[in-house]
Amino acid sequence: MRPLSRFLVAGLGLGLLLVLGVVSAQAAATLTQHIDPPEANVGDEVTVTFSVQNGSGANIRLPNVDGLQLAGTSTQTNFTIINGSMSSAVSQVFTIVPTRTGTFTIPAFDVPLQDGGVLHSQPMTLKVVAGGAPSSPNGSAPSGLGPVMMPPAMANPSNGNAADLSNPNITPPVESDGRPARVFMLITPKTTDAYVGETVPLRIEFFIRMDVIAQQDSLPTMKGSDFLMNDLSVRPGEDDLTLMNEPYHRETWITALSAPRNGDFPLQMVRDTYWTKGSNGVFTDPLGNFFGPRPQLAHGNIPSNQLTMHVHALPDEGRPADFTGAIGQFKASGNATPTAVNVGDPVYLDFSVSGEGNFDHVRSPALTPDPAWKSYVASSKVEYADESRTQGNKTFHQAIIPQKNGNLPLPNASFSYFDSTQKKYVTIPIPLPLVTVSGTSVPTAATAPAGADNSTPATASSTTDLNPNRLELGSLQADFVPAYRQPWFWLVQGGALLLLVIGALGVWISSRRGQDRTGTERALRQRTLRELEEAMSDAVNRQDAPAFFFAARQAVQLQWGARWNLPPEAVTLPLIAARDPQAAETLGPLFAQADEVIYSGLNAGNLNLAEWELHVREELLQLQAA
């Protein structure tokens, strides 16, 4: 081998070894990602970098995130060989610009590779504050110091009747490091002056600083037992806002409270809260990536601001007899239908009480006792118009029955409540129409006794028109299982349906077979007919009258038999005469001549067989056509 050739072979071998070694040394493809900075101002440029190591052909597309605008994309490729191991890295850098404040999450997505593999990215979070506000210099989570209590003097609402529960001027308490509190709660009642039983709308706001990972497993609760509060079963409203240049997440409930007794009472709420003390350990833990982040949780009750509620007793003076504890501002109306009835037939009263207040204590408008009418318990339904359930409309449906005839005025109806604004009792008269009552008056009408709600049904005083008792026992049964729950009920129907299906199936199969049989029979008949026609022609040629008439009669019987679904030999002249007299007239001479010739054994003689043949063929053609 020449030296040059030896050199080439050695070079190729070395190259091959190198390639094989490099290929064999290549590790599996991996994906790394980072966002810089993790906190930014609105309008700042933020870079999001995805690097694929040891993977080729990666096609990375950043998912669209509302509030983040993609400003540019660039790609970098690096190759490194260390100790004979080659690694490649393709980095794709996205430049994004936040267009508004908030916490944005770039969701996880898949990165497909050229070799068919797929890499999975992790979600990334970017916190954006208003332009000009200082962002965290390094983006790391601050060390946990625990919650800061709300100063009692903060955000004390006016003692008047604020129409709006919103709290535009929120000043969070400040921690020892000078930053606003991580977690705090604020309660804002509509008023701090209330009456016993009055429902006071209450706004509860829970603030969590954006850089604090907090977790709440419970709802805010009232501290102490001086107040009753509506359930906080509805989901809170959630929004983000900036306080003292710090972004906060806020949860808001609108509810209502009431005090069962008068006096001055402290009003404060608490919420059981967990929050992360810090996350430094997460990144220094060498197994952190393996086991995932392990945040250290702290736990505590976050108290709200404390207020004093002044609860006043309802005045005794001027309290209407029909006052049931309704406090607020209400409107009441009513209607009665029908306005023309017979004695004993019900007239239905529909009342509506709407407005703002404690609807729990709103009862059906009171009716003045009237012997002409028997009243019954009203059913009620309330529809709330706001979250605190202090505004709404309560409707009542009540039956009253006339006890005498004539043009009767309905009992006077009125609704009373305590107006907490005017601080006085108000009685609203509810006008009702006149009712025309016909029929015979009930002789002993019982008045409905007053009950807890409004009235209770009178005892059976007019049950005289009940049908009398049955004297037979009837069919006794241990339980109430109705017929349609008994298996036999469906089995009988199913059986009948099955029978129908089987019958239809049988008919169909039979018809298919019948069609086959009919086809075969038709073919056989055609062949026989052709043979008989040939026999007729031969007989004419030979002037063999018996043979001709024998064949002709058989051919006619064959066709009529097919028409009537009868065997050919069953077709006789009497049968044809019975079923088709006109045909019998035409065929009569043929059958008679055939009998005469066949039985007498006469030859053609003076018979014109050709003419007979023509006549028979015409007849057969007509039958064929029919």
Partner 1 sequence: MRIDFMNYFRLFALSLITLLATQVGARAETPDADLDAANRAYQDGHYDESAKLFRQLIETHGYSAPLCFNLGNAEAKAGHLGQALLNYERARYLAPGDSGINHNLQVTRKQAGLDPNPYRWWQVVMRSINWTVWLAVIVTCLVLLLIAVIGTASAQALSGKTGASAASIRRFFKGLSFFCVPLFLFFGFVELSTVGFNDRIEGVVMGKPATLRLSPFDSAEKTGTLPEGELVTVEQRHDNYFWVDDASKQSGWVVDKELEPVVPGTFEPSDAK
Q: In the complex, which residues of this chain contact partner 1 (CB under 8 A)?
A: 230-231, 233, 344-346, 348, 360, 375-382, 389, 394, 397-401, 452-453, 457, 459-460, 462-463, 465-480, 482-485, 489, 492-493, 496-497, 499-500, 503-504, 507, 510-511, 564-566
Beta carbon of residue 104, minimum distance to partner 1 (angstroms, whole number): 36
Distance CA 473, CA 470 (A): 8
Distance in Å from the first CA to the final CA of the chain: 105
Alpha helices in 355-445, H assignment, sequence order = none
- At 499 the three-state DSSP class reads helix
Nearer to partner 1, 322 or 350 (CB): 350
Nearer to partner 1, 91 or 454 (CB): 454
- At 290 the three-state DSSP class reads helix
Nearer to partner 1, 2 or 470 (CB): 470
Both tokens of 203, joined, read: 């706004």
Distance CA 297, CA 291 (A): 17
Nearer to partner 1, 460 or 625 (CB): 460
Nearer to partner 1, 209 or 394 (CB): 394
Nearer to partner 1, 38 or 328 (CB): 328
Beta carbon of residue 363, minimum distance to partner 1 (angstroms, whole number): 10
Beta carbon of residue 488, minimum distance to partner 1 (angstroms, whole number): 9
Beta carbon of residue 252, minimum distance to partner 1 (angstroms, whole number): 19
Beta carbon of residue 307, minimum distance to partner 1 (angstroms, whole number): 23
Beta carbon of residue 568, minimum distance to partner 1 (angstroms, whole number): 15
Beta carbon of residue 575, minimum distance to partner 1 (angstroms, whole number): 12
Q: Report how far apart, in Å, the C-alpha atoms of 584 and of each of 140, 452, 548, 619 are.
A: 116, 101, 20, 12
User: How does DSSP assign 14-68, residue by residue?
Assistant: HHHHHHHHHHHH----EEEEEEE-SEEETT--EEEEEEEES--S----PPP-TTE
- At 177 the three-state DSSP class reads coil
Nearer to partner 1, 266 or 514 (CB): 514
| Beta strands, E only, 113-182 | 118-120, 124-129
Nearer to partner 1, 179 or 525 (CB): 525
- The length of the chain in residues reads 626
State the amino acid at position 445 in one-letter form.
Answer: A
Angle (CA) 419 317 324, round 5° = 55
Crossing angle of the two packed helices 487-542 and 545-564, in degrees rounded to 10: 160
DSSP state, residue 286: T
Nearer to partner 1, 97 or 232 (CB): 232
Nearer to partner 1, 138 or 463 (CB): 463
Give the list of residues 6+ apart from residue 30 with CB closer than 8 angstroms, or none: 52, 53, 54, 55, 119
Beta carbon of residue 458, minimum distance to partner 1 (angstroms, whole number): 8
Other residues' Cβ atoms within 10 Å of the Cβ of residue 591 = 19
Beta carbon of residue 626, minimum distance to partner 1 (angstroms, whole number): 13
Nearer to partner 1, 163 or 625 (CB): 625
DSSP state, residue 140: P
Nearer to partner 1, 6 or 485 (CB): 485
Q: Report how far apart, in Å, the C-alpha atoms of 406 and of each of 204, 439, 609 are.
A: 58, 9, 108
Contact 89, 77 (CB under 8 A): yes
Segment holding 88, helix H or strand E: strand 85-98
Beta carbon of residue 502, minimum distance to partner 1 (angstroms, whole number): 9
Can you name the residues that pair with 425 across neighbouring β-strands? 418
Beta carbon of residue 497, minimum distance to partner 1 (angstroms, whole number): 6
Nearer to partner 1, 424 or 485 (CB): 485
Sign of the torsion formed by the C-alpha atoms of 223, 226, 232 and 233: positive
Other residues' Cβ atoms within 10 Å of the Cβ of residue 528 = 14
Q: Map tokens 């339904």 to a residue.
A: 381
436: closest CA among 333, 334, 343, 335?
343
Nearer to partner 1, 89 or 623 (CB): 623
On the CB side of 343, how many CA atoms lie within 13 Å of its CA?
15
Nearer to partner 1, 118 or 507 (CB): 507
- At 397 the three-state DSSP class reads strand
State the amino acid at position 180 in one-letter form.
Answer: P
Can you name the residues that pair with 329 across neighbouring β-strands? 356
Beta carbon of residue 304, minimum distance to partner 1 (angstroms, whole number): 21
Four-CA torsion 585, 590, 596, 600, nearest 10 degrees: -170
- 3-class DSSP string for 146-164: CCCCCCCCCCCCCCCCCCC
Beta carbon of residue 374, minimum distance to partner 1 (angstroms, whole number): 9
Distance CA 563, CA 571 (A): 10
Beta carbon of residue 268, minimum distance to partner 1 (angstroms, whole number): 20
Nearer to partner 1, 277 or 563 (CB): 563
Beta carbon of residue 484, minimum distance to partner 1 (angstroms, whole number): 5
State the amino acid at position 536 in one-letter form.
Answer: M
Beta carbon of residue 319, minimum distance to partner 1 (angstroms, whole number): 23
